[in-house]
């Protein structure tokens, strides 16, 4: 193999070594059900799948069956989801065959046991020669697999593992199914994490391994409760160690029946996981392959009893929307609502502008003001919409691996429906982890979340400000047509606004971020006010409706469930009320923001076109406090709340439709399951 090739380290997190399904009558593979099972695991928050590991009963499979399973896995999980292929064999030649088959099937890396059929004959020198030969010819990165229990007691020590990693760049990790945390510590201390990943081989020392420097675990129990194990990892990475430990203790007790072997693991997976994947008759299809037998009825009953508590947690986690569902739901809602309420936003901008006020003052009275509304106020209501489309179009990109897993990454490439929202959540997760580590131990979670969300909002505003500046200046460009379209004279108003900013003093790049502080000053308190109110109002409405529903049932009526319409109405009305109140209260900062952004478009050399900031202002006097003082002097407190009703109206409409549509879309994407009462649109 080429020495210049880059050998990719498998992503950190929890991996499932997927079990294999067999037809109970013919003892053949059941590939369609197998695909369903692979797909289910890949959408459960896991970092990747091991196909053909020990729990797949790989040494009971033919070479053709191995190929079929790898091909089925890639088809089921898509091109981006990580697959590690088990390529254990008894000779160098056999392992190299398996490696080529795995590469052809689309695997990303390979898990390789030392050849140990002859037990004592597998000396350290034999192991070194074997992995040297494999590394020299492998088409895939190699993860060493140390499992003395299936290798006649052959146990790779940390010195040998580190030696192999240093000599062969193709060796990018190890799975330690030997229960040795000490090996994790030594290997993590000796080998860089970006070049070598250490995985524990059992879920019950996941946290112990992470605390010692591991990248996660490859655990059979992930077949049974994948979301719960992934959640432990997510909590740890987010700095919520106490919560992670509580869940980990529950999982460790639930795992005890699986310690008896593959037969019980497959039974538990059939009961608690495969049925969720849509596999029918899962218990029979998940019997061990012949000649091995399944567990007895008493053992099955004990398994169900011991795992009952964790099963409830897994059910709750399964009810939460996956990252992809949330993103697609957000895309459906955000783009539609932005376009729908845009005319009201344009009217609000014009109503707050200096051009409108100048005409208003000249009219002399409120009655004549109505008659003398500036010409063009109701024209070109979609001017500047192009900047909004650019800010909300989906963008596809490779996500940071650690962050992706904290949001239950289901695939390597994923939708980011609102670029500013992508910035928000990326910053939020990173900041949350950073603050959790930086603050004193025991700091309250609300404080961590508040600091993280504030930091994320500031980052989001940095992305949003240029689009807002272009949009608001485009909204003020005088339209020459009577239509409400988004252009004048057939030209893009967004492009005209950008060119206007370019010709203004200081140039476009300076002017594009005018009003950032005012935008942040508006958005931070708005978010802080709206979402607590939203949660309170929504919880109150649901509680009242549930009480009435219970009363009707007790009176002998028919039990009713919550439908999509009710979900939309409850969330929409709660969001509309909370959003409109928050909008009115933050109108003064919105007025200042609008004036600042319109002043960014002023052109000293030109007297017409756009801007709307007024000719008596200069770019040197555009501070937020100065603008607020000028507005107060001109119109008093009423001036600071100018456009508040417009803002309340479009915010009520926009927030109500957005969060209502968002929640309905999430439920619909999940096949109508659940109402997401407690998830919210946050």
Cβ atoms within 10 Å, residue 5: 11
Confidence category of residue 250, pLDDT binned at 50, 70, 90: very high
Lowest mean pLDDT among 37-51, 166-180, 529-543: 529-543
For the domain covering 323-669, report its CATH number. 1.50.40.10
Structure tokens at 624: 């937020």
Whole-prediction pTM: 0.58
Note the pLDDT tens digit of each residue in 63-111: 999 999 999 999 999 999 999 999 999 999 999 999 999 999 999 999 9
Statement: residue 315 has pLDDT above 70: yes
3-state SS class at 15: strand
Statement: residue 188 has pLDDT above 50: yes
Query: Taking a C-beta distance cutoff of 8 angstroms, is the pair 410, 324 a contact?
Result: yes
Kindly state which CATH superfamily the domain 13-245 is placed in. Aldolase class I (3.20.20.70)
CA distances from 147 to 159, 177, 196, 483, 492 (A): 16, 5, 18, 74, 65
Residues 6+ apart with CB under 8 A from 568: 660, 661, 663, 664
Lowest mean pLDDT among 277-281, 490-494, 587-591: 490-494
Query: Taking a C-beta distance cutoff of 8 angstroms, is the pair 254, 310 a contact?
Result: yes
- Give me the residues paired with residue 110 across strands: 85, 142
Instruction: Determine the pLDDT at residue 329.
Output: 56
Query: Taking a C-beta distance cutoff of 8 angstroms, is the pair 597, 473 a contact?
Result: yes
DSSP for 453-511, written as a single string: HHHHHHHHHHHHHHHHHHHHHHHTSPPSSSS--SEETTEEHHHHHHHHHHHSTT-HHHH
Statement: residue 175 has pLDDT above 60: yes
> For the chain, where do the domains classified as CATH 1.50.40.10 start and end?
323-669
Residues identified as active-site:
175
> For the chain, where do the domains classified as CATH 3.20.20.70 start and end?
13-245
Note the pLDDT tens digit of each residue in 115-167: 988 988 989 999 999 999 999 999 999 999 999 988 888 889 999 999 999 99
| CA–CA dist 359, 366 (Å, integer) | 12
Confidence category of residue 414, pLDDT binned at 50, 70, 90: very low
């Amino acid at each position: 193999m080429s020495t210049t090739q880059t050998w990719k380290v498998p992503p950190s997190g929890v991996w499932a070594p997927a079990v294999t399904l067999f037809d109970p009558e013919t003892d053949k593979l059941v590939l369609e059900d197998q695909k369903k099972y692979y797909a289910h695991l890949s959408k459960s928050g896991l970092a990747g799948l091991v196909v053909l590991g020990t729990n797949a009963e790989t040494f009971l499979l033919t070479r053709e069956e191995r190929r079929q399973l790898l091909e089925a896995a890639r088809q089921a999980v898509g091109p981006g989801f990580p697959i590690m292929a088990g390529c254990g064999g008894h000779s160098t030649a056999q392992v190299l065959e398996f490696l080529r088959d795995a590469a052809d099937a689309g695997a990303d890396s390979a898990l390789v046991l030392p050849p140990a059929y002859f037990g004592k004959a597998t000396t350290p020198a034999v192991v070194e020669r074997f992995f040297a030969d494999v590394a020299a010819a492998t088409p895939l990165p190699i993860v060493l697999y140390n499992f003395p229990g299936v290798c006649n007691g052959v146990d790779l020590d940390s010195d040998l593992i580190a030696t192999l990693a240093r000599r062969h760049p193709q060796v990018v990790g190890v799975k330690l199914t030997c229960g040795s945390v000490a090996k994790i510590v030594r290997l993590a201390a000796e080998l860089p994490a970006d070049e070598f990943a250490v995985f524990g081989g059992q879920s019950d020392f996941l946290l112990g391994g992470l605390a010692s420097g591991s990248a996660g675990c490859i655990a059979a129990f992930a077949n049974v409760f994948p979301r719960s194990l992934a959640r432990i990892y997510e909590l740890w990475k987010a700095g919520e160690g106490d919560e992670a430990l509580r869940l980990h203790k529950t999982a460790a007790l639930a795992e005890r029946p699986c310690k008896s072997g593959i037969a019980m693991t497959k039974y538990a997976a059939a009961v608690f996981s495969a049925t969720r994947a849509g596999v029918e008759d899962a218990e029979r299809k998940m019997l061990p392959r012949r000649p091995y037998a399944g567990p007895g009825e008493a053992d099955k009953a004990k398994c169900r009893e011991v795992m009952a508590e964790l099963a409830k947690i897994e059910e709750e986690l399964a009810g939460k929307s996956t990252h992809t569902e949330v993103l697609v739901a957000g895309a459906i809602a955000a783009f539609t609502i932005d376009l729908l309420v845009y005319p009201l936003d344009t009217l609000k901008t014009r109503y707050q502008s200096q051009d409108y006020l100048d005409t208003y003052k000249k009219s002399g009275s409120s009655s004549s003001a109505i008659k003398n509304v500036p010409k063009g106020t109701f024209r070109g209501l979609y001017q500047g919409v192009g900047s909004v489309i650019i800010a909300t179009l989906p963008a596809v990109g490779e996500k940071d691996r650690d962050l992706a897993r904290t949001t239950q990454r289901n695939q390597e490439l994923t939708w980011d429906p609102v670029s500013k929202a992508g910035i928000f959540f990326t910053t939020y997760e990173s900041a949350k982890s950073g603050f959790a580590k930086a603050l004193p131990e025991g700091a309250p979670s609300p404080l961590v979340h508040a600091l993280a969300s504030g930091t994320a909002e500031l980052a989001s505003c940095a992305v949003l400000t240029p689009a807002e500046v272009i949009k608001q200046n485009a909204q003020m460009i005088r339209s020459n047509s009577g239509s409400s379209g988004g252009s004048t004279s057939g030209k893009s108003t967004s492009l005209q606004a950008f060119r206007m900013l370019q010709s203004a003093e200081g140039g476009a790049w300076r002017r594009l971020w005018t009003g950032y502080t005012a935008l942040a000053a508006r958005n931070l308190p708005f978010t802080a006010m709206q979402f607590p109110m939203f949660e309170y109002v929504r919880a109150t409405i649901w509680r009242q409706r549930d009480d009435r529903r219970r009363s009707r049932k007790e009176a002998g009526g028919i039990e009713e469930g919550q439908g999509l319409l009710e979900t939309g109405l409850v969330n929409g009305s709660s969001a509309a009320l909370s959003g409109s109140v928050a909008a009115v209260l933050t109108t003064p900062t919105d007025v200042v923001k609008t004036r600042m952004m319109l002043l960014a478009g002023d052109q000293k050399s030109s007297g017409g076109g756009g801007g709307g900031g007024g000719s008596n202002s200069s770019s040197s006097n555009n501070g937020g406090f100065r603008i607020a003082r000028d507005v107060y002097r001109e119109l008093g407190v009423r001036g600071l709340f100018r456009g508040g009703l417009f803002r309340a109206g479009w915010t009520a409409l926009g927030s109500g439709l957005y969060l209502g549509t968002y929640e309905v879309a999430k439920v619909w994407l999940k096949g109508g399951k659940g109402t997401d009462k407690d998830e919210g649109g946050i």
